[in-house]
Amino acid sequence: MITAATMPSATPQPTQPPVGDPPAAPTTAPERRIYAPVQFDDRSRPVQVVIGGLIPIALGALAGILIGSSATAYWVLGLLAGVGAFLSGFEHRGGWEAADRGFFGGVFYGVALLVVHALVGTEAKVSLGSFPPLLVVITAIAGMLLAAAGGRIGRALRERAGLQAPPDPDER
Protein backbone atom coordinates (compact mmCIF):
# COMPACT_ATOMS: atom_id res chain seq x y z
CA MET A 1 0.00 0.00 0.00
CA ILE A 2 1.21 3.41 -0.94
CA THR A 3 0.58 6.25 1.44
CA ALA A 4 1.02 9.98 0.91
CA ALA A 5 4.24 9.99 2.89
CA THR A 6 5.89 7.42 0.64
CA MET A 7 4.40 8.47 -2.64
CA PRO A 8 6.68 10.50 -4.92
CA SER A 9 5.50 14.02 -5.45
CA ALA A 10 5.22 15.72 -8.83
CA THR A 11 6.30 19.06 -7.38
CA PRO A 12 9.95 19.50 -6.42
CA GLN A 13 10.61 19.58 -2.74
CA PRO A 14 12.88 22.31 -1.31
CA THR A 15 16.32 20.99 -0.51
CA GLN A 16 18.57 21.97 2.29
CA PRO A 17 22.07 23.07 1.31
CA PRO A 18 24.69 20.47 2.05
CA VAL A 19 26.49 20.92 5.33
CA GLY A 20 29.89 21.61 3.70
CA ASP A 21 28.85 24.52 1.42
CA PRO A 22 30.85 27.71 1.94
CA PRO A 23 29.01 30.74 3.26
CA ALA A 24 27.83 33.36 0.83
CA ALA A 25 30.45 35.83 -0.38
CA PRO A 26 30.68 39.03 1.66
CA THR A 27 29.22 42.11 0.09
CA THR A 28 32.19 44.32 1.03
CA ALA A 29 34.90 45.20 -1.46
CA PRO A 30 37.86 42.85 -1.64
CA GLU A 31 40.95 43.75 0.35
CA ARG A 32 43.41 45.86 -1.66
CA ARG A 33 47.04 44.98 -1.47
CA ILE A 34 49.68 47.65 -1.92
CA TYR A 35 53.39 47.47 -2.59
CA ALA A 36 54.83 48.17 0.87
CA PRO A 37 58.38 46.80 1.15
CA VAL A 38 60.54 46.80 4.25
CA GLN A 39 61.61 50.35 5.07
CA PHE A 40 65.21 51.19 4.18
CA ASP A 41 65.89 52.41 7.74
CA ASP A 42 64.70 49.06 9.14
CA ARG A 43 67.28 47.10 7.14
CA SER A 44 70.70 46.19 8.53
CA ARG A 45 73.64 48.45 7.63
CA PRO A 46 75.29 45.88 5.29
CA VAL A 47 72.03 45.48 3.36
CA GLN A 48 71.69 49.27 3.14
CA VAL A 49 75.22 49.48 1.69
CA VAL A 50 74.45 46.81 -0.89
CA ILE A 51 71.09 48.10 -2.10
CA GLY A 52 71.86 51.80 -1.67
CA GLY A 53 75.42 51.84 -2.98
CA LEU A 54 76.74 48.67 -4.55
CA ILE A 55 73.77 47.99 -6.81
CA PRO A 56 73.83 51.50 -8.36
CA ILE A 57 77.62 51.17 -8.77
CA ALA A 58 77.27 47.76 -10.43
CA LEU A 59 74.56 49.01 -12.79
CA GLY A 60 76.65 52.07 -13.64
CA ALA A 61 79.69 49.90 -14.32
CA LEU A 62 77.63 47.67 -16.60
CA ALA A 63 76.29 50.77 -18.37
CA GLY A 64 79.91 51.94 -18.80
CA ILE A 65 80.67 48.72 -20.64
CA LEU A 66 77.47 48.73 -22.68
CA ILE A 67 77.83 52.34 -23.81
CA GLY A 68 80.78 51.26 -25.92
CA SER A 69 79.10 48.21 -27.43
CA SER A 70 75.34 48.75 -27.88
CA ALA A 71 73.26 51.89 -27.66
CA THR A 72 70.07 49.85 -27.29
CA ALA A 73 71.43 47.78 -24.40
CA TYR A 74 72.72 50.96 -22.74
CA TRP A 75 69.29 52.63 -22.93
CA VAL A 76 67.45 49.50 -21.75
CA LEU A 77 69.75 49.28 -18.73
CA GLY A 78 69.22 52.99 -18.06
CA LEU A 79 65.46 52.47 -18.19
CA LEU A 80 65.70 49.55 -15.75
CA ALA A 81 67.86 51.65 -13.43
CA GLY A 82 65.21 54.40 -13.57
CA VAL A 83 62.47 51.94 -12.66
CA GLY A 84 64.65 50.73 -9.78
CA ALA A 85 65.14 54.31 -8.59
CA PHE A 86 61.38 54.88 -8.63
CA LEU A 87 60.63 51.65 -6.75
CA SER A 88 63.37 52.37 -4.21
CA GLY A 89 61.33 55.37 -3.12
CA PHE A 90 58.66 53.03 -1.76
CA GLU A 91 61.15 51.90 0.91
CA HIS A 92 61.08 55.36 2.52
CA ARG A 93 58.57 57.25 4.64
CA GLY A 94 58.12 59.98 2.07
CA GLY A 95 59.47 61.83 -0.92
CA TRP A 96 62.19 63.86 0.78
CA GLU A 97 63.85 60.89 2.42
CA ALA A 98 63.67 58.94 -0.84
CA ALA A 99 65.14 61.88 -2.76
CA ASP A 100 68.34 61.67 -0.71
CA ARG A 101 68.82 58.02 -1.59
CA GLY A 102 67.96 58.64 -5.26
CA PHE A 103 70.44 61.50 -5.48
CA PHE A 104 73.35 59.45 -4.15
CA GLY A 105 72.31 56.39 -6.16
CA GLY A 106 72.40 58.57 -9.28
CA VAL A 107 75.83 59.93 -8.36
CA PHE A 108 77.19 56.41 -7.81
CA TYR A 109 75.65 55.21 -11.10
CA GLY A 110 77.02 58.14 -13.12
CA VAL A 111 80.54 58.02 -11.65
CA ALA A 112 80.79 54.24 -12.13
CA LEU A 113 79.57 54.59 -15.72
CA LEU A 114 82.23 57.18 -16.59
CA VAL A 115 85.07 55.42 -14.76
CA VAL A 116 84.40 52.01 -16.30
CA HIS A 117 83.88 53.52 -19.75
CA ALA A 118 87.27 55.25 -19.45
CA LEU A 119 88.93 52.03 -18.24
CA VAL A 120 87.43 49.94 -21.05
CA GLY A 121 88.51 52.57 -23.58
CA THR A 122 85.80 51.97 -26.19
CA GLU A 123 84.16 54.67 -28.26
CA ALA A 124 80.73 55.57 -26.89
CA LYS A 125 77.78 54.60 -29.09
CA VAL A 126 75.76 57.26 -27.27
CA SER A 127 76.87 60.88 -26.98
CA LEU A 128 78.23 61.83 -23.57
CA GLY A 129 78.14 65.50 -24.53
CA SER A 130 81.05 67.93 -24.72
CA PHE A 131 81.69 67.65 -20.97
CA PRO A 132 81.10 64.03 -19.84
CA PRO A 133 81.31 64.72 -16.05
CA LEU A 134 78.03 66.62 -16.44
CA LEU A 135 76.45 63.17 -16.86
CA VAL A 136 76.95 62.61 -13.11
CA VAL A 137 74.84 65.70 -12.36
CA ILE A 138 72.15 64.51 -14.77
CA THR A 139 72.00 60.98 -13.32
CA ALA A 140 71.94 62.39 -9.78
CA ILE A 141 69.00 64.69 -10.55
CA ALA A 142 67.14 61.95 -12.44
CA GLY A 143 67.66 59.48 -9.57
CA MET A 144 66.57 62.06 -7.03
CA LEU A 145 63.35 62.93 -8.90
CA LEU A 146 62.40 59.32 -9.63
CA ALA A 147 63.01 58.12 -6.06
CA ALA A 148 61.18 61.15 -4.63
CA ALA A 149 58.18 60.40 -6.85
CA GLY A 150 58.20 56.78 -5.69
CA GLY A 151 58.48 57.87 -2.06
CA ARG A 152 55.61 60.32 -2.35
CA ILE A 153 53.34 57.86 -4.17
CA GLY A 154 54.23 55.09 -1.71
CA ARG A 155 53.35 57.33 1.23
CA ALA A 156 50.02 58.29 -0.35
CA LEU A 157 49.15 54.64 -1.01
CA ARG A 158 50.00 53.65 2.56
CA GLU A 159 47.90 56.50 3.95
CA ARG A 160 44.96 55.61 1.69
CA ALA A 161 45.16 51.96 2.78
CA GLY A 162 45.07 53.07 6.41
CA LEU A 163 48.57 51.95 7.23
CA GLN A 164 50.06 54.22 9.83
CA ALA A 165 53.31 55.63 8.54
CA PRO A 166 55.55 57.45 10.98
CA PRO A 167 55.66 61.13 10.16
CA ASP A 168 58.39 62.24 7.78
CA PRO A 169 60.17 65.05 9.64
CA ASP A 170 61.22 66.71 6.38
CA GLU A 171 57.71 66.91 4.88
CA ARG A 172 55.81 69.90 6.22
User: Whole-model pTM?
Assistant: 0.75
The answer to whether residue 26 scores a pLDDT higher than 60 is no
Which residues lie below 8 Å from residue 82, measured CB to CB, with a gap of 6+? 142, 146
Q: How confident is the model at residue 14 (pLDDT cuts 50, 70, 90)?
A: low
Residues 48-88 pLDDT 10s: 999 999 999 999 999 999 999 999 999 999 999 999 999 99
Amino acid, single-letter form, for residue 145: L
Q: Would you kindly state where each structural domain of the chain is located, as residue ranges?
A: 44-160
Contact 108, 60 (CB under 8 A): yes
| Confidence check: pLDDT of 137 > 60 | yes
Q: What is the pLDDT of residues 109-136, one digit of tens each?
A: 999 999 999 999 999 999 998 999 999 9
What is the pLDDT averaged over residues 15-20?
58
Answer yes or no: are the C-beta atoms of 137 and 82 closer than 8 Å: no
